[in-house]
Amino acid sequence: MTNSDSTIDSGLVSAPLEIKLAVDLIQLLEDNNLPLEATIKALEITLRDFKNKQLTQLKAPKSKSLNAKTSL
């Protein structure tokens, strides 16, 4: 680990979770020396998938345990 790596790591300690995750994903992809076009397409597919999951969660009815509590 170089000095710049340790500076980046120490700066990430207080970074938001999404920044830490993005840095980890970038490092993982770069370390594997994957073709850029394939990597970008894979990330687009992944983003679409997660956005669909988010929409599904937003449309899902409240859990039964929450409904039972509110009907009391």
The tens digit of pLDDT for each residue in 16-45 reads 999 999 999 999 999 999 999 999 999 999
Q: What is the mean pLDDT of the chain?
A: 84
> Whole-prediction pTM value?
0.64
* DSSP secondary structure of the chain: --HHHHHHHHHHTTS-HHHHHHHHHHHHHHHTT--HHHHHHHHHHHHHHHHHHHHHHHHSPPPHHHHHHHT-
Does the pLDDT at position 6 exceed 80?
no
